[in-house]
Chain A
């Protein structure tokens, strides 16, 4: 079972290759706005995240996800890691 830090590192790598700005993606990076992508593009990036982690992220969790770390916490739960 992967740790939060491992999931965060892996997620940052996926987001970094999809960012359209100069931002260095980290835990506090704001999804969409700081990545320079709109909400529809973010949904496309999430499909890639899902494949990389071999999970499906329910849309229901997204309204409370603002930062990369918020998303990592959801990944932790979906991967059966720490609550």
Chain B
């Protein structure tokens, strides 16, 4: 058995995929035109799978802030936060984020993935137990695994199942860490926050909510805000790479121990810190998010329109309207044909394969932006209808 034997099954699947001509995992964006359009495969393409919820990647204020920072502070920090990589701007961003969430403290990480990895792995060890929603993101699973805690999953969005797991833990429940997400990345559904918080209050423990997909989407701050559960939630993590249009991640908390996590978190200590330009655009985007609530209105108008239209076209979509809208398909050939058909018609969406998806479905996952025009949303729908019709026709032939 060679070092690479473990890849045999993957190589077979990759080869089978290549034979179909579809290349969903090697899309190259040749040139960006705007937050919602790019040249892909030489064709002008509507970007409908970028999680650029508020469309701020080309916001003039954010771009100018980044430009000024790169001129003043250089292209990178060349170091870890624990060494030479803490600039005044990192501290200022942490102050901004803590104030924004009305929390005592904040830590920023170099990516959203690292935020979950860094917090979960430092917060827990082999003596602890973490109870996570089964549909949590890979960064949460990886962070739990890195810390070495006992990991228990509960049925997706099922507060009763969470309660059952905590009951089974007995006295250990009082020190358990519960982890859920504001909006789940696969189907765009949100956690039943008030029910989860009620279970946490009944059994004790700590509650962490990942607002990666809900920051700036559900209210200003995410699901915890709109569910009015600030006091029930101990930690909020998230990313700057979606609604804030940059990269980086964060954790906020009222617990003073957060500062101790900073010095014990390997994904915080042993990686280079955020670039000054990224910090600057993130801070600018955070200000824009708060100053321009109309962006959220635009986002939801587009989300509701796409969700409704895809449903009317006969696609099975997630359980509720959301800026993440996944058309579920059970057949791989249909999924590949429609995904390729969309790209040929100038629409890019994400194609997600099981087992990364719930219920073994293939997902043609769209994410909409405040920056999409109504005409673009309609073009996306038209492309779905046309690609589906072509597949049906070719299958019948």
Interface positions of A (Cβ within 8 A of B): 38-41, 43, 47, 54-60
Contacts and interface: CB of A to CB of B under 8 A. Distances in A.
B360 A56 contact: no
Contact of B354 (A40, A54, A56): A40
B151 A60 contact: yes
Contacts of B141: 59
Most buried by B among A39, A54, A56: A56
Contacts of B150: 58, 60
Interface in B140-162: 141, 144-145, 150-153, 155
A43 B168 CA distance: 19
Contact of A47 (B129, B144, B155, B357): B155
Given A58-B150, A59-B151, A38 B169 contact: no
A49 B355 CA distance: 20
Interface of B: 129, 134, 141, 144-145, 150-153, 155, 165, 168-169, 354-355, 357, 360
B152 A39 contact: no
B338 to A, nearest CB: 22
B260 to A, nearest CB: 25
A15 to B, nearest CB: 18
A14 B202 CA distance: 31
B169 A56 contact: yes
A54 B168 contact: yes
Contacts of A57: 152
B165 A38 contact: no
A50 to B, nearest CB: 9
B360 A58 contact: no
Contacts of A47: 134, 155
12 contacts: A38-B355, A38-B360, A40-B354, A40-B355, A40-B360, A47-B134, A56-B169, A58-B129, A58-B150, A59-B145, A59-B152, A59-B153
B169 A39 contact: no
Given A54-B168, A55-B168, A56-B165, A41 B360 contact: yes
Given A40-B355, A43-B153, A60-B145, 8 more contacts: A38-B354, A56-B165, A56-B168, A56-B169, A58-B150, A59-B145, A59-B152, A59-B153
Contacts of B169: 56
A54 to B, nearest CB: 7
Contacts of A58: 129, 150-152
Contacts of B134: 43, 47
B363 to A, nearest CB: 13
Contacts of A54: 168
A43 B165 CA distance: 16
Closest 8 CB pairs of A and B: A40-B355, A59-B151, A56-B152, A58-B150, A56-B165, A39-B355, A56-B168, A38-B355
A39 B354 CA distance: 10
A41 B360 CA distance: 8
Nearest to A39: B355
A33 to B, nearest CB: 11
A30 to B, nearest CB: 15
A43 B153 CA distance: 10
Nearest to B153: A59
A34 to B, nearest CB: 16
Contacts of B165: 56
A43 B141 CA distance: 14
Contacts of B129: 58
A6 B169 CA distance: 23
A40 B357 CA distance: 9
Contacts of A60: 145, 150-151
Contacts of B144: 59
B372 to A, nearest CB: 32
Contacts of A40: 354-355, 357, 360
A76 B349 CA distance: 46
